[in-house]
Amino acid sequence: MTIGFIGIGIMGRPMAKNLIKAGYRLVVYDKFTKFDDLTAMGAEGASSNKEVASKSDVVITMLPNSPQVKEAILGEGGVTEGIASGKIVVDMSSIAPAVSREVGEALKAKGVAFLDAPVSGGEPKAIDGTLAIMVGGDQKIFDTVKPILEKMGSSVVLVGDIGAGNVTKLANQIVVALNIAAVSEAFVLAAKAGVDPAKVFDAIKGGLAGSTVMNAKVPMILDGNFKPGFRIELHIKDLQNALDTAHNLNVPIPLTANVMETLQALKTDGMAADDHSAIIRFYEKLAKIEVRK
Ligand code: NAD
């Protein structure tokens, strides 16, 4: 089986490497980023998305957002121009669920199956092959590609029809953003009240307030390390997709809207490329204190 991999960025690169290491034949392409390290590992380099599709049984895309996925799959020189009926496309980017459904419909018209399969876990888990992968689509297609996805993730769950993977990812991103904001507000208060934030962390991380987010982000905050990780600009993209999706369904999501404005303020302050743990810097600025060791 030949796997096409499109989008050799922060996430796509280690994910593609794990597939090569697992013994799959890969054809790879990225419109803007070099991929010599992958061809050095044995992958075949292509010169367009169309070429990748024409040489692959399963095409995986790992691109920034909805417009890039539409361009790479449906656009000129895109996957649909090269792919044969009976093949499978798996989009692992985090995009708007409505666009997943649109792409799925366009591919169905060509006899091509589609899954949306966004991931959670960030670059470290992409490197380790331990991503959480949430999948939308047909059970039979899911069963066919599950062994491939398991080379990139330790949790691979079919959550519903096409689009359900990205709905689940939006839910994930809301919980993560609000959790970082809650941790930020709480730790700024503790620091301003004169209590050592490292001791607050030790005292509460094992209780009900503890979370994976708290364990990952508080040590970064205490070190003043806001290197990404997951960039604020990507979280803005995800929350915009969450707000659009919610509003189309008449679902108000006021807490998400609030954190979105925090992220916008940080972007205005030049922090768009910082890790999303920098949400605390918004609260630090309001209270005129820094939460550090
Ligand atoms: P990235 O910007 O590093 O990589 C995307 C790649 O797509 C780039 O190399 C870019 O050149 C390429 N690209 C863009 N348009 C293209 C086109 N038309 N054809 C071919 N290639 C094209 O982004 P990333 O951090 O790897 O994230 C990819 C996706 O995964 C995003 O949707 C992101 O939200 C999601 N995600 C990222 C993380 C993370 O921690 N970085 C974690 C979970 C999910």
CATH of the domain at 88: 3.40.50.720
Q: List the domain range (segments joined by +) for residue 233.
A: 167-287
- Two structure tokens written together for 150: 């398991």
- Ligand 1 atom index nearest CA of 75: 18
Same domain, 71 and 97: yes
Q: Is 68 in the pocket of ligand 1 (CB under 6 A)?
A: yes
Q: Is 75 in the pocket of ligand 1 (CB under 6 A)?
A: no
Q: Is 174 in the pocket of ligand 1 (CB under 6 A)?
A: no
Q: Is 11 in the pocket of ligand 1 (CB under 6 A)?
A: yes
What is the per-residue pLDDT for 277?
Answer: 98
pTM: 0.95
Low-confidence ranges of the chain (pLDDT < 50): none
Are the CB atoms for 74 and 103 separated by under 8 Å? yes
Three-class SS of 136-197:
ECCHHHHHHHHHHHCCCEEEEEEEECCCHHHHHHHHHHHHHHHHHHHHHHHHHHHHHCCCCH
Q: Is 277 in the pocket of ligand 1 (CB under 6 A)?
A: no
Distance 154 CA to ligand 1 centre (A): 20
Of 232, 75, 119, 101, whose CA–CA distance to 240 is shortest? 232
Q: Point out the domain boundary residue: 162, 195, 225.
A: 162
Is 169 part of the annotated catalytic residue set?
A: yes
Question: Looking at 169, 205, 227, 285, which residue is catalytic?
Answer: 169
What torsion do the CA atoms of 143, 149, 155, 159 make, to the nearest 10 degrees? -50
Q: Is 142 in the pocket of ligand 1 (CB under 6 A)?
A: no
Give dist(CA 244, CA 237) in Å, integer. Answer: 11
Of 132, 131, 130, 99, whose CA–CA distance to 114 is shortest? 99
What is the per-residue pLDDT for 122?
Answer: 86
Same domain, 272 and 157: no
Same domain, 103 and 238: no
Q: Point out the domain boundary residue: 127, 162, 197.
A: 162
Q: How many domains does the chain have?
A: 2
Same domain, 24 and 121: yes
CA 53 to chain centre: 23
Helix residue spans in the chain (DSSP H): 12-21, 36-40, 49-54, 66-74, 79-82, 97-108, 122-128, 139-149, 164-192, 197-204, 212-223, 232-248, 254-268, 279-287
Tell me the sheet residues that pair with 275.
231
Same domain, 10 and 53: yes
**180-237: per-residue pLDDT in tens?**
999 999 999 999 999 999 999 999 999 999 999 999 999 999 999 999 989 999 999 9
- Two structure tokens written together for 57: 């049984």
| Domain CATH code at residue 276 | 1.10.1040.10
Distance 64 CA to ligand 1 centre (A): 4
Distance 37 CA to ligand 1 centre (A): 17
**245-265: per-residue pLDDT in tens?**
999 999 999 999 999 999 999
- Measured in Å, how far apart are the chain's first and last C-alpha atoms? 51
Q: Point out the domain boundary residue: 162, 179, 194.
A: 162
Distance 284 CA to ligand 1 centre (A): 30
55 belongs to a structural domain:
yes
Place of tokens 């959480």: 132
Query: Which amino acid would we find at residue 121?
Result: G
